[in-house]
Amino acid sequence: MPKPRLKTSAPEHATTKTRGSSGSSQFTFLAHLIVTCFNALIMTAAIIKYHHSTMSINNNKCSTSTILLGEDLASSSFRMRLEKGKQRLTTKANLTAAAKPREPLASSLTTLQSKALPSSTKNDDRDRPYHIIFSTGCTPKQHWQSYVLFHSIMESNQPGLVTRIASGCDPEQTKIIQALHVQQIVPMGKQGLHDSGKSRFHLHITPDFKVTVAEYQGRKNQIFHYLNKPYGVAHWMEHVLGYSTDRPAVKEHNDKIIMLLDPDMIVLRPIINDFKQGPEIFRKRTTYPRIYKVTHGHPMAQEYAYQGKWYTEMKDIRHILPPEDLPSPVQNMTLKQITENYASGPPYLVTALDFYKIVVKWRQLVLPVQAEFPDTIMSEMYAYSWAAAHLELPHQQIHSLVASDHTEEAFHLFSDHEAFPSNQMCRGNIPNSQKPHILHYCQRYKIGMYDIGKHRVPPQFVGSSLDVAAICAHPLMVEPPTDLATRYDFWIDPGSLQKTQFFAPKNGAFTKQEWKDRVTYLLCEMIAGLNRAARYFKQQHCAAANVPANMTMSLNLFDELKVPPEVLTSDYNKQ
Protein backbone atom coordinates (compact mmCIF):
# COMPACT_ATOMS: atom_id res chain seq x y z
CA MET A 1 0.00 0.00 0.00
CA PRO A 2 1.35 3.41 -0.84
CA LYS A 3 2.12 5.98 1.79
CA PRO A 4 1.70 9.23 -0.15
CA ARG A 5 3.38 12.46 0.73
CA LEU A 6 2.14 15.97 0.52
CA LYS A 7 1.77 18.25 -2.45
CA THR A 8 2.05 21.76 -1.07
CA SER A 9 1.57 25.08 -2.72
CA ALA A 10 4.57 26.92 -1.34
CA PRO A 11 7.73 24.83 -1.08
CA GLU A 12 10.84 26.61 0.07
CA HIS A 13 14.13 25.99 -1.71
CA ALA A 14 17.66 26.17 -0.32
CA THR A 15 20.94 25.52 -2.12
CA THR A 16 22.83 24.98 -0.36
CA LYS A 17 43.78 -4.18 33.59
CA THR A 18 45.44 -5.01 37.66
CA ARG A 19 47.46 -8.17 38.05
CA GLY A 20 46.94 -10.22 41.29
CA SER A 21 49.79 -11.63 43.36
CA SER A 22 49.91 -14.94 45.31
CA GLY A 23 51.24 -15.28 48.84
CA SER A 24 54.49 -17.00 49.60
CA SER A 25 52.75 -19.98 51.14
CA GLN A 26 50.40 -22.53 49.61
CA PHE A 27 47.74 -21.65 52.17
CA THR A 28 47.78 -18.02 51.18
CA PHE A 29 47.51 -18.97 47.55
CA LEU A 30 44.48 -21.21 48.17
CA ALA A 31 42.79 -18.56 50.28
CA HIS A 32 43.35 -15.99 47.58
CA LEU A 33 41.94 -18.35 44.97
CA ILE A 34 38.80 -19.04 47.01
CA VAL A 35 38.16 -15.33 47.59
CA THR A 36 38.69 -14.55 43.92
CA CYS A 37 36.22 -17.21 42.82
CA PHE A 38 33.66 -16.05 45.38
CA ASN A 39 33.95 -12.46 44.16
CA ALA A 40 33.60 -13.60 40.59
CA LEU A 41 30.38 -15.41 41.46
CA ILE A 42 29.00 -12.28 43.10
CA MET A 43 29.94 -10.14 40.12
CA THR A 44 28.37 -12.61 37.70
CA ALA A 45 25.15 -12.61 39.69
CA ALA A 46 25.11 -8.83 39.66
CA ILE A 47 25.63 -8.68 35.93
CA ILE A 48 22.85 -11.17 35.31
CA LYS A 49 20.51 -9.23 37.58
CA TYR A 50 21.34 -5.98 35.77
CA HIS A 51 20.95 -7.67 32.41
CA HIS A 52 17.45 -8.88 33.28
CA SER A 53 16.47 -5.51 34.67
CA THR A 54 17.24 -3.77 31.38
CA MET A 55 15.57 -6.12 28.96
CA SER A 56 11.99 -4.94 28.99
CA ILE A 57 10.47 -4.97 25.56
CA ASN A 58 7.81 -2.47 26.44
CA ASN A 59 7.84 0.64 28.56
CA ASN A 60 4.28 0.47 29.70
CA LYS A 61 3.93 2.93 32.56
CA CYS A 62 0.32 2.22 33.48
CA SER A 63 -0.41 0.51 36.75
CA THR A 64 -2.61 -2.20 35.21
CA SER A 65 0.14 -3.49 32.90
CA THR A 66 2.03 -6.69 33.55
CA ILE A 67 5.72 -6.48 32.76
CA LEU A 68 7.65 -9.74 33.18
CA LEU A 69 11.12 -8.68 34.30
CA GLY A 70 13.80 -11.16 35.43
CA GLU A 71 11.71 -14.15 34.37
CA ASP A 72 13.41 -17.45 35.19
CA LEU A 73 15.30 -18.48 32.06
CA ALA A 74 15.20 -22.08 33.29
CA SER A 75 11.41 -22.17 33.28
CA SER A 76 10.00 -24.49 30.67
CA SER A 77 7.45 -21.99 29.42
CA PHE A 78 10.04 -19.31 28.81
CA ARG A 79 12.42 -21.75 27.09
CA MET A 80 9.62 -22.86 24.82
CA ARG A 81 8.93 -19.29 23.77
CA LEU A 82 12.58 -18.70 23.00
CA GLU A 83 12.90 -21.92 21.03
CA LYS A 84 9.84 -21.18 18.96
CA GLY A 85 11.00 -17.62 18.38
CA LYS A 86 7.42 -16.43 18.33
CA GLN A 87 6.81 -14.32 21.39
CA ARG A 88 3.55 -12.63 20.70
CA LEU A 89 1.63 -9.89 22.38
CA THR A 90 -1.99 -10.94 22.48
CA THR A 91 -4.67 -8.42 23.08
CA LYS A 92 -7.87 -10.36 22.55
CA ALA A 93 -9.63 -9.26 25.71
CA ASN A 94 -8.02 -5.85 25.74
CA LEU A 95 -9.44 -4.75 22.41
CA THR A 96 -13.05 -5.42 23.37
CA ALA A 97 -15.09 -2.30 23.62
CA ALA A 98 -15.38 -1.10 27.22
CA ALA A 99 -17.30 1.52 29.08
CA LYS A 100 -16.27 5.02 28.19
CA PRO A 101 -13.79 6.48 28.57
CA ARG A 102 -12.22 3.39 27.04
CA GLU A 103 -9.06 2.26 28.82
CA PRO A 104 -5.98 3.04 26.76
CA LEU A 105 -4.69 -0.17 25.24
CA ALA A 106 -1.16 0.73 26.29
CA SER A 107 -2.27 0.30 29.88
CA SER A 108 -3.50 -3.27 29.38
CA LEU A 109 -0.90 -4.77 27.08
CA THR A 110 0.88 -7.78 28.59
CA THR A 111 4.48 -7.81 27.48
CA LEU A 112 7.10 -10.54 27.39
CA GLN A 113 10.76 -10.11 28.13
CA SER A 114 12.90 -11.32 25.28
CA LYS A 115 16.35 -12.82 25.34
CA ALA A 116 18.90 -10.52 23.76
CA LEU A 117 20.00 -11.92 20.43
CA PRO A 118 23.55 -11.55 19.12
CA SER A 119 24.16 -8.54 16.98
CA SER A 120 27.10 -7.78 14.75
CA THR A 121 26.96 -4.03 15.32
CA LYS A 122 28.24 -3.80 18.90
CA ASN A 123 31.46 -1.82 19.44
CA ASP A 124 31.77 -1.08 15.74
CA ASP A 125 30.67 2.51 15.37
CA ARG A 126 33.72 4.50 16.42
CA ASP A 127 34.01 7.71 14.43
CA ARG A 128 30.83 6.95 12.52
CA PRO A 129 28.20 9.62 13.10
CA TYR A 130 25.30 7.80 11.40
CA HIS A 131 23.29 4.66 12.13
CA ILE A 132 21.00 3.80 9.21
CA ILE A 133 18.36 1.24 10.15
CA PHE A 134 15.36 -0.33 8.49
CA SER A 135 12.77 -2.83 9.69
CA THR A 136 11.76 -5.95 7.73
CA GLY A 137 10.11 -9.33 7.97
CA CYS A 138 11.73 -12.57 6.79
CA THR A 139 10.20 -13.24 3.38
CA PRO A 140 11.93 -13.44 -0.01
CA LYS A 141 10.32 -10.13 -0.96
CA GLN A 142 11.91 -8.45 2.04
CA HIS A 143 15.24 -10.12 1.20
CA TRP A 144 15.47 -8.68 -2.30
CA GLN A 145 14.31 -5.25 -1.19
CA SER A 146 16.98 -5.30 1.53
CA TYR A 147 19.63 -6.30 -1.01
CA VAL A 148 18.66 -3.44 -3.31
CA LEU A 149 18.73 -0.94 -0.44
CA PHE A 150 22.12 -2.13 0.83
CA HIS A 151 23.45 -1.95 -2.74
CA SER A 152 22.17 1.59 -3.25
CA ILE A 153 23.77 2.72 0.02
CA MET A 154 27.09 1.27 -1.15
CA GLU A 155 26.73 2.68 -4.65
CA SER A 156 25.76 6.18 -3.52
CA ASN A 157 28.58 6.36 -0.93
CA GLN A 158 26.04 7.01 1.81
CA PRO A 159 28.11 7.11 5.03
CA GLY A 160 27.25 5.28 8.25
CA LEU A 161 26.70 1.86 9.76
CA VAL A 162 23.67 0.14 8.24
CA THR A 163 21.52 -2.43 10.05
CA ARG A 164 18.62 -4.52 8.83
CA ILE A 165 16.30 -5.22 11.76
CA ALA A 166 14.46 -8.45 10.95
CA SER A 167 11.53 -9.46 13.16
CA GLY A 168 9.49 -12.63 13.42
CA CYS A 169 11.75 -15.14 11.66
CA ASP A 170 11.07 -18.78 12.45
CA PRO A 171 14.15 -21.08 12.94
CA GLU A 172 14.40 -21.98 9.25
CA GLN A 173 13.95 -18.37 8.15
CA THR A 174 16.61 -17.32 10.66
CA LYS A 175 19.13 -19.70 9.10
CA ILE A 176 18.34 -18.39 5.63
CA ILE A 177 18.52 -14.71 6.50
CA GLN A 178 21.80 -15.16 8.39
CA ALA A 179 23.33 -17.04 5.45
CA LEU A 180 22.08 -14.42 3.00
CA HIS A 181 23.58 -11.69 5.11
CA VAL A 182 27.00 -13.34 5.42
CA GLN A 183 27.24 -14.39 1.77
CA GLN A 184 25.62 -11.48 -0.02
CA ILE A 185 25.43 -8.40 2.22
CA VAL A 186 28.59 -8.40 4.35
CA PRO A 187 30.92 -8.21 1.31
CA MET A 188 29.13 -5.10 0.06
CA GLY A 189 29.66 -3.45 3.43
CA LYS A 190 33.43 -3.86 3.07
CA GLN A 191 33.63 -1.75 -0.06
CA GLY A 192 35.66 1.41 0.40
CA LEU A 193 36.73 0.64 3.96
CA HIS A 194 40.37 0.87 5.06
CA ASP A 195 39.93 -2.25 7.20
CA SER A 196 38.64 -4.76 4.65
CA GLY A 197 38.16 -7.37 7.37
CA LYS A 198 35.14 -5.53 8.72
CA SER A 199 31.80 -4.68 7.21
CA ARG A 200 29.58 -1.73 7.96
CA PHE A 201 26.45 -3.66 6.92
CA HIS A 202 24.80 -5.55 9.77
CA LEU A 203 21.84 -7.73 10.70
CA HIS A 204 19.87 -7.65 13.94
CA ILE A 205 17.23 -10.34 14.52
CA THR A 206 14.42 -9.75 17.00
CA PRO A 207 11.47 -11.80 18.27
CA ASP A 208 8.10 -11.50 16.59
CA PHE A 209 6.17 -8.58 17.99
CA LYS A 210 3.19 -8.52 15.67
CA VAL A 211 -0.10 -9.24 17.33
CA THR A 212 -3.44 -10.70 16.55
CA VAL A 213 -5.87 -7.86 17.01
CA ALA A 214 -8.94 -9.68 18.19
CA GLU A 215 -12.52 -8.84 17.33
CA TYR A 216 -12.99 -5.15 17.83
CA GLN A 217 -15.91 -3.02 16.82
CA GLY A 218 -17.32 -5.81 14.68
CA ARG A 219 -14.04 -6.69 12.97
CA LYS A 220 -12.71 -10.24 13.00
CA ASN A 221 -9.17 -11.21 13.94
CA GLN A 222 -6.48 -9.53 11.88
CA ILE A 223 -2.70 -9.53 12.06
CA PHE A 224 -1.14 -6.16 12.78
CA HIS A 225 2.30 -6.64 11.24
CA TYR A 226 3.43 -3.05 11.66
CA LEU A 227 3.97 -3.48 15.40
CA ASN A 228 7.32 -5.05 14.45
CA LYS A 229 8.65 -1.66 13.38
CA PRO A 230 8.60 0.34 16.64
CA TYR A 231 9.21 -2.74 18.79
CA GLY A 232 12.02 -3.97 16.53
CA VAL A 233 13.73 -0.58 16.53
CA ALA A 234 13.44 -0.40 20.33
CA HIS A 235 14.91 -3.92 20.60
CA TRP A 236 17.90 -2.84 18.50
CA MET A 237 18.50 0.33 20.51
CA GLU A 238 18.30 -1.57 23.81
CA HIS A 239 20.32 -4.65 22.87
CA VAL A 240 22.88 -3.07 20.58
CA LEU A 241 23.32 0.54 21.67
CA GLY A 242 22.58 -0.18 25.32
CA TYR A 243 19.63 2.14 25.92
CA SER A 244 16.91 1.22 28.39
CA THR A 245 14.20 2.96 30.33
CA ASP A 246 16.61 2.88 33.30
CA ARG A 247 19.41 4.19 31.08
CA PRO A 248 17.84 6.61 28.61
CA ALA A 249 21.17 8.27 27.82
CA VAL A 250 24.26 6.43 26.56
CA LYS A 251 27.18 8.85 26.30
CA GLU A 252 29.00 7.12 23.46
CA HIS A 253 25.88 7.08 21.26
CA ASN A 254 23.76 10.08 22.25
CA ASP A 255 25.11 12.42 19.56
CA LYS A 256 24.93 9.93 16.70
CA ILE A 257 22.26 10.43 14.07
CA ILE A 258 19.73 7.63 13.61
CA MET A 259 18.23 7.47 10.12
CA LEU A 260 15.19 5.22 9.93
CA LEU A 261 14.39 4.16 6.37
CA ASP A 262 11.94 1.72 4.78
CA PRO A 263 13.22 -1.37 2.92
CA ASP A 264 11.55 -0.35 -0.35
CA MET A 265 13.90 2.57 -0.83
CA ILE A 266 16.83 3.27 -3.16
CA VAL A 267 19.37 5.86 -2.05
CA LEU A 268 20.28 8.13 -4.96
CA ARG A 269 22.03 11.01 -3.20
CA PRO A 270 23.77 10.67 0.20
CA ILE A 271 22.06 12.14 3.23
CA ILE A 272 24.56 14.18 5.21
CA ASN A 273 23.67 16.09 8.36
CA ASP A 274 24.14 19.46 6.73
CA PHE A 275 21.30 20.52 4.48
CA LYS A 276 22.94 23.74 3.36
CA GLN A 277 25.34 21.85 1.10
CA GLY A 278 22.99 20.89 -1.71
CA PRO A 279 19.71 21.67 -3.38
CA GLU A 280 16.84 21.00 -0.99
CA ILE A 281 13.17 21.83 -0.78
CA PHE A 282 11.94 22.63 2.72
CA ARG A 283 8.42 22.63 4.05
CA LYS A 284 7.44 26.19 4.84
CA ARG A 285 7.67 26.64 8.60
CA THR A 286 6.32 29.55 10.61
CA THR A 287 5.92 27.98 14.07
CA TYR A 288 9.63 27.24 14.56
CA PRO A 289 12.80 28.51 12.86
CA ARG A 290 14.04 26.49 9.93
CA ILE A 291 16.98 24.19 10.78
CA TYR A 292 19.63 22.80 8.46
CA LYS A 293 21.23 20.27 10.81
CA VAL A 294 19.91 17.60 13.19
CA THR A 295 20.81 18.34 16.80
CA HIS A 296 19.31 17.40 20.15
CA GLY A 297 15.74 18.64 20.20
CA HIS A 298 15.71 19.26 16.46
CA PRO A 299 14.93 16.17 14.32
CA MET A 300 14.18 16.13 10.61
CA ALA A 301 12.05 13.96 8.33
CA GLN A 302 10.22 13.74 5.03
CA GLU A 303 6.78 15.31 5.08
CA TYR A 304 3.87 13.00 4.32
CA ALA A 305 0.38 13.79 3.11
CA TYR A 306 -1.58 12.61 6.15
CA GLN A 307 -0.92 15.98 7.77
CA GLY A 308 -2.88 16.37 11.05
CA LYS A 309 -5.25 13.41 10.61
CA TRP A 310 -3.59 11.56 13.48
CA TYR A 311 -5.00 14.27 15.76
CA THR A 312 -7.98 15.83 14.02
CA GLU A 313 -9.67 12.51 13.21
CA MET A 314 -9.28 10.83 16.61
CA LYS A 315 -12.42 10.27 18.64
CA ASP A 316 -11.07 10.68 22.17
CA ILE A 317 -7.51 11.41 23.31
CA ARG A 318 -8.18 9.18 26.33
CA HIS A 319 -8.31 6.22 23.95
CA ILE A 320 -4.67 6.87 23.04
CA LEU A 321 -2.81 8.42 25.97
CA PRO A 322 -2.81 6.89 29.48
CA PRO A 323 -4.15 9.03 32.34
CA GLU A 324 -0.69 9.96 33.61
CA ASP A 325 0.14 11.52 30.24
CA LEU A 326 -2.84 13.87 30.39
CA PRO A 327 -3.08 16.67 29.82
CA SER A 328 -0.72 16.37 26.87
CA PRO A 329 1.19 19.22 25.19
CA VAL A 330 -0.54 18.14 21.99
CA GLN A 331 -3.82 19.50 23.28
CA ASN A 332 -2.39 23.03 23.28
CA MET A 333 -0.98 22.86 19.75
CA THR A 334 -2.53 24.67 16.83
CA LEU A 335 -3.30 22.85 13.62
CA LYS A 336 -0.50 24.79 11.96
CA GLN A 337 1.98 23.57 14.58
CA ILE A 338 0.83 19.99 13.99
CA THR A 339 0.95 20.06 10.20
CA GLU A 340 4.22 21.97 9.97
CA ASN A 341 6.15 19.74 12.40
CA TYR A 342 4.43 16.40 12.96
CA ALA A 343 3.26 15.07 9.58
CA SER A 344 6.43 13.07 9.14
CA GLY A 345 7.55 9.75 7.72
CA PRO A 346 10.72 7.89 6.69
CA PRO A 347 13.41 8.78 6.49
CA TYR A 348 13.45 10.08 10.04
CA LEU A 349 16.72 11.76 11.13
CA VAL A 350 17.04 12.07 14.91
CA THR A 351 19.87 12.07 17.45
CA ALA A 352 20.05 8.75 19.30
CA LEU A 353 19.27 10.52 22.58
CA ASP A 354 16.04 11.94 21.20
CA PHE A 355 15.21 8.90 19.11
CA TYR A 356 15.10 6.57 22.11
CA LYS A 357 12.67 8.92 23.81
CA ILE A 358 10.43 8.81 20.76
CA VAL A 359 10.78 5.04 20.33
CA VAL A 360 9.75 4.32 23.93
CA LYS A 361 6.60 6.38 23.52
CA TRP A 362 6.02 5.14 19.95
CA ARG A 363 5.88 1.48 20.97
CA GLN A 364 3.61 2.37 23.88
CA LEU A 365 1.13 4.15 21.66
CA VAL A 366 1.17 2.09 18.48
CA LEU A 367 -1.59 -0.35 19.56
CA PRO A 368 -3.91 2.30 21.00
CA VAL A 369 -3.51 4.37 17.85
CA GLN A 370 -4.15 1.31 15.68
CA ALA A 371 -7.35 0.66 17.61
CA GLU A 372 -8.39 4.28 17.06
CA PHE A 373 -7.55 4.07 13.34
CA PRO A 374 -8.16 0.38 12.47
CA ASP A 375 -8.73 0.91 8.77
CA THR A 376 -5.40 2.42 7.74
CA ILE A 377 -1.85 1.11 7.52
CA MET A 378 -0.84 4.65 8.41
CA SER A 379 -1.62 4.04 12.10
CA GLU A 380 2.01 3.08 12.79
CA MET A 381 3.10 6.44 11.40
CA TYR A 382 0.31 8.22 13.26
CA ALA A 383 1.68 6.70 16.48
CA TYR A 384 5.13 8.09 15.68
CA SER A 385 3.62 11.54 15.24
CA TRP A 386 1.74 11.21 18.51
CA ALA A 387 4.98 10.26 20.30
CA ALA A 388 7.01 13.11 18.81
CA ALA A 389 4.32 15.70 19.44
CA HIS A 390 3.64 14.57 23.00
CA LEU A 391 7.39 14.83 23.69
CA GLU A 392 7.49 18.21 21.93
CA LEU A 393 10.16 17.22 19.42
CA PRO A 394 9.13 19.10 16.27
CA HIS A 395 10.55 17.75 13.03
CA GLN A 396 11.89 20.03 10.33
CA GLN A 397 10.06 18.58 7.37
CA ILE A 398 11.70 18.39 3.95
CA HIS A 399 10.17 17.62 0.58
CA SER A 400 13.37 16.66 -1.21
CA LEU A 401 14.40 13.68 0.92
CA VAL A 402 12.11 11.32 -0.98
CA ALA A 403 10.17 10.98 -4.21
CA SER A 404 7.54 8.30 -4.65
CA ASP A 405 4.49 9.88 -6.25
CA HIS A 406 3.94 12.27 -9.15
CA THR A 407 2.21 14.85 -6.94
CA GLU A 408 5.26 15.63 -4.84
CA GLU A 409 7.43 18.72 -4.60
CA ALA A 410 10.75 16.85 -4.90
CA PHE A 411 10.46 17.01 -8.68
CA HIS A 412 11.08 20.75 -8.59
CA LEU A 413 14.74 19.89 -7.95
CA PHE A 414 15.07 19.30 -11.67
CA SER A 415 11.77 19.70 -13.50
CA ASP A 416 11.99 23.50 -13.47
CA HIS A 417 15.32 23.47 -15.30
CA GLU A 418 15.46 23.74 -19.08
CA ALA A 419 18.56 21.50 -19.02
CA PHE A 420 16.34 18.55 -18.12
CA PRO A 421 13.61 18.43 -20.80
CA SER A 422 10.81 15.90 -21.06
CA ASN A 423 12.66 13.78 -23.60
CA GLN A 424 15.44 13.23 -21.01
CA MET A 425 13.29 12.14 -18.07
CA CYS A 426 14.15 8.43 -18.43
CA ARG A 427 17.78 7.87 -17.44
CA GLY A 428 18.70 11.14 -19.08
CA ASN A 429 21.28 13.70 -18.08
CA ILE A 430 19.88 14.50 -14.62
CA PRO A 431 22.89 14.30 -12.25
CA ASN A 432 22.43 12.54 -8.91
CA SER A 433 23.25 15.83 -7.20
CA GLN A 434 20.00 17.23 -8.61
CA LYS A 435 17.80 14.27 -7.65
CA PRO A 436 15.86 13.56 -4.45
CA HIS A 437 17.97 11.72 -1.87
CA ILE A 438 15.79 8.60 -2.04
CA LEU A 439 13.39 6.85 -4.38
CA HIS A 440 10.63 5.25 -2.34
CA TYR A 441 9.08 2.75 -4.74
CA CYS A 442 6.00 2.13 -2.63
CA GLN A 443 3.62 2.64 -5.51
CA ARG A 444 2.98 1.29 -8.99
CA TYR A 445 4.30 3.25 -11.95
CA LYS A 446 2.88 2.93 -15.46
CA ILE A 447 3.04 4.78 -18.73
CA GLY A 448 2.36 3.45 -22.20
CA MET A 449 3.59 -0.13 -22.52
CA TYR A 450 5.62 -0.07 -19.31
CA ASP A 451 4.39 -1.03 -15.86
CA ILE A 452 6.27 -1.78 -12.64
CA GLY A 453 5.53 -2.14 -8.92
CA LYS A 454 7.40 -3.83 -6.09
CA HIS A 455 4.75 -6.53 -5.72
CA ARG A 456 5.27 -7.53 -9.34
CA VAL A 457 9.06 -8.00 -9.20
CA PRO A 458 9.93 -11.74 -9.48
CA PRO A 459 11.46 -12.92 -6.18
CA GLN A 460 14.33 -14.61 -8.04
CA PHE A 461 15.32 -11.31 -9.65
CA VAL A 462 18.00 -10.46 -7.06
CA GLY A 463 19.11 -11.30 -3.51
CA SER A 464 15.99 -13.19 -2.49
CA SER A 465 17.40 -16.67 -1.81
CA LEU A 466 20.52 -18.82 -1.55
CA ASP A 467 19.81 -20.26 -5.00
CA VAL A 468 22.49 -18.28 -6.81
CA ALA A 469 22.01 -20.24 -10.04
CA ALA A 470 18.33 -19.22 -10.29
CA ILE A 471 19.15 -15.55 -9.76
CA CYS A 472 22.04 -15.63 -12.24
CA ALA A 473 19.78 -17.20 -14.88
CA HIS A 474 17.09 -14.55 -14.53
CA PRO A 475 17.14 -11.75 -17.10
CA LEU A 476 17.40 -8.08 -16.27
CA MET A 477 14.52 -5.72 -16.92
CA VAL A 478 13.96 -3.89 -20.16
CA GLU A 479 14.96 -0.26 -19.72
CA PRO A 480 12.61 2.14 -21.52
CA PRO A 481 13.85 4.70 -24.04
CA THR A 482 15.14 8.02 -22.77
CA ASP A 483 12.25 9.92 -24.37
CA LEU A 484 9.54 7.69 -22.85
CA ALA A 485 7.69 10.70 -21.43
CA THR A 486 7.02 12.08 -24.91
CA ARG A 487 6.04 8.77 -26.55
CA TYR A 488 2.79 7.95 -24.75
CA ASP A 489 -0.24 9.83 -23.51
CA PHE A 490 -1.78 6.88 -21.65
CA TRP A 491 -1.31 4.11 -19.15
CA ILE A 492 -3.09 0.74 -18.88
CA ASP A 493 -5.23 0.28 -15.81
CA PRO A 494 -4.07 -3.06 -14.31
CA GLY A 495 -7.55 -3.91 -13.03
CA SER A 496 -9.71 -3.22 -16.04
CA LEU A 497 -6.93 -3.44 -18.67
CA GLN A 498 -8.35 -0.30 -20.21
CA LYS A 499 -6.36 2.57 -21.66
CA THR A 500 -6.44 5.67 -19.48
CA GLN A 501 -5.23 9.09 -20.56
CA PHE A 502 -2.97 11.43 -18.63
CA PHE A 503 -4.53 14.81 -17.96
CA ALA A 504 -3.89 18.08 -16.17
CA PRO A 505 -5.62 18.27 -12.76
CA LYS A 506 -8.13 21.06 -12.31
CA ASN A 507 -6.18 22.60 -9.42
CA GLY A 508 -3.32 23.39 -11.77
CA ALA A 509 -0.75 21.64 -9.58
CA PHE A 510 1.00 20.31 -12.68
CA THR A 511 0.45 19.98 -16.38
CA LYS A 512 -0.34 16.83 -18.33
CA GLN A 513 3.26 16.66 -19.59
CA GLU A 514 4.62 17.20 -16.07
CA TRP A 515 2.57 14.22 -14.88
CA LYS A 516 4.05 12.07 -17.64
CA ASP A 517 7.54 13.38 -16.90
CA ARG A 518 7.26 12.51 -13.22
CA VAL A 519 5.81 9.03 -13.72
CA THR A 520 8.48 8.37 -16.32
CA TYR A 521 11.22 9.46 -13.92
CA LEU A 522 9.90 7.24 -11.11
CA LEU A 523 9.42 4.19 -13.34
CA CYS A 524 12.81 4.50 -15.02
CA GLU A 525 14.66 5.23 -11.77
CA MET A 526 13.15 2.12 -10.17
CA ILE A 527 13.98 -0.15 -13.11
CA ALA A 528 17.51 1.24 -13.38
CA GLY A 529 18.10 0.85 -9.63
CA LEU A 530 16.89 -2.76 -9.62
CA ASN A 531 18.99 -3.57 -12.70
CA ARG A 532 22.13 -2.06 -11.19
CA ALA A 533 21.67 -4.17 -8.05
CA ALA A 534 20.98 -7.35 -10.08
CA ARG A 535 23.94 -6.70 -12.37
CA TYR A 536 26.24 -6.20 -9.36
CA PHE A 537 24.94 -9.43 -7.78
CA LYS A 538 25.75 -11.40 -10.92
CA GLN A 539 29.19 -9.88 -11.22
CA GLN A 540 29.98 -10.84 -7.63
CA HIS A 541 28.41 -14.30 -7.35
CA CYS A 542 27.74 -16.05 -10.68
CA ALA A 543 31.33 -16.84 -11.68
CA ALA A 544 32.15 -17.92 -8.13
CA ALA A 545 29.23 -20.35 -8.31
CA ASN A 546 30.39 -21.53 -11.74
CA VAL A 547 27.12 -20.57 -13.41
CA PRO A 548 26.58 -18.18 -16.33
CA ALA A 549 25.24 -14.68 -15.68
CA ASN A 550 22.25 -13.67 -17.76
CA MET A 551 22.80 -9.98 -18.50
CA THR A 552 20.13 -9.69 -21.18
CA MET A 553 17.54 -6.99 -20.58
CA SER A 554 14.42 -8.83 -21.71
CA LEU A 555 12.01 -8.76 -18.75
CA ASN A 556 9.13 -6.36 -19.28
CA LEU A 557 6.50 -6.72 -16.56
CA PHE A 558 3.98 -5.02 -18.82
CA ASP A 559 3.84 -8.19 -20.94
CA GLU A 560 2.52 -10.12 -17.95
CA LEU A 561 -0.63 -8.01 -17.99
CA LYS A 562 -1.64 -9.73 -21.26
CA VAL A 563 -3.36 -6.64 -22.59
CA PRO A 564 -5.53 -7.43 -25.64
CA PRO A 565 -4.01 -5.79 -28.77
CA GLU A 566 -7.21 -3.95 -29.55
CA VAL A 567 -6.99 -2.09 -26.24
CA LEU A 568 -3.84 -0.33 -27.35
CA THR A 569 -5.73 1.20 -30.28
CA SER A 570 -8.96 1.86 -28.40
CA ASP A 571 -10.29 5.14 -27.06
CA TYR A 572 -9.28 6.40 -23.64
CA ASN A 573 -11.20 5.89 -20.44
CA LYS A 574 -12.95 9.02 -19.28
CA GLN A 575 -11.61 10.71 -16.14
Determine the pLDDT at residue 410: 94
Distance (Å, whole) CA 114 – CA 207:
7
Determine the pLDDT at residue 109. 30
What is residue 6's predicted lDDT score, i.e. its pLDDT? 43
C-alpha span between 303 and 283 (Å, rounded): 8
Say whether pLDDT at 50 is over 60: no
**Residue 425 neighbours by CB under 8 Å, 6+ apart:** 482, 484, 485, 517, 518, 520, 521, 524
Whether the predicted pLDDT of 470 surpasses 60: yes
User: Of 6-10, 72-76, 490-494, which one has max mean pLDDT?
Assistant: 490-494
CA-wise closest residue to 176 among 140, 229, 201 = 140
Residue 283 DSSP label: P
Report pLDDT for 302.
Answer: 97
Does pLDDT of 97 surpass 80? no
E-assigned strands of 416-471? Answer: 438-440, 445-447, 450-452
In the 8-state DSSP scheme, what is residue 182? I
Which of 22-26, 49-53, 108-112 has the highest mean predicted lDDT (pLDDT)? Answer: 22-26
Q: Does position 266 have pLDDT exceeding 60, yes or no?
A: yes
Residue 183 amino acid letter: Q
Q: Give the per-residue pLDDT at 90.
A: 30
Q: Does 115 score more than 90 pLDDT?
A: no
pLDDT of residue 460: 93
Whether residue 22 is predicted with pLDDT greater than 70 in this model: the reply is no
Cα–Cα distance, 555 to 552 (Å, whole number): 9
* pLDDT score, position 19: 30
Which pLDDT score is estimated for 540?
96
Predicted confidence at residue 246, as pLDDT, reads 96
Which pLDDT score, from 0 to 100, does residue 213 have? 58
Please tell me the predicted confidence (pLDDT) of residue 112.
Answer: 27
Residue 291: the pLDDT is 96
Residue 573 pLDDT greater than 60, yes or no: no
Rounded mean pLDDT of 217-242?
Answer: 82
pLDDT at 54: 31
Residue 112: CB atoms within 10 A of its CB come to 19
What CA–CA distance (Å, rounded) separates 344 from 302?
6
Q: So what's the pLDDT on residue 416?
A: 77
What is the percentage of the chain residues whose pLDDT exceeds 70?
74
Q: How many CA atoms lie within 13 A of 486 on its CB side?
A: 7
pLDDT at 221: 54
Q: What is the percent of the chain with per-residue pLDDT over 90, rounded to a whole number?
A: 65
Q: Is the pLDDT of residue 547 over 70?
A: yes
User: Is the pLDDT at 285 greater than 50, yes or no?
Assistant: yes
d(CA 50, CA 137): 30
What are the chain's domains? 130-399 (3.90.550), 404-568 (no CATH)
Whether 334 contacts 288, CB under 8 Å: no
Q: What is the pLDDT of residues 471-489, one digit of tens each?
A: 999 999 999 999 999 999 9
The span from the CA of 104 to the CA of 319, in Å, is 5
Task: Give mean pLDDT, residues 367-395.
Answer: 93
Q: What is the rounded average pLDDT for all residues in the chain? A: 80
- Rounded to an integer, the average pLDDT of 39-49 is 39
pLDDT computed for residue 570 by the predictor: 77
**Whole-number pLDDT of residue 223:** 67
pLDDT (tens digit, 9 = 90+) per residue, 144-201? Answer: 999 999 999 999 999 999 999 999 999 999 999 999 999 999 999 998 776 667 899 9
Give residue 521's pLDDT band: very low, low, confident or very high (50, 70, 90).
Answer: very high
User: Which stretches of 120-270 are DSSP H helices?
Assistant: 140-155, 171-180, 228-236
Residue 236 has pLDDT above 70, yes or no: yes
Say yes or no to pLDDT of 351 above 80: yes
Q: For the residues 392-408, what does the mean pLDDT come to?
A: 96
User: What is the distance between the alpha carbons of residues 485 and 497, in angstroms, rounded to a whole number?
Assistant: 21
Residues pairing with 165 in the sheet: 135, 204
Other Cβ atoms within 10 Å of 80 Cβ, number? 10
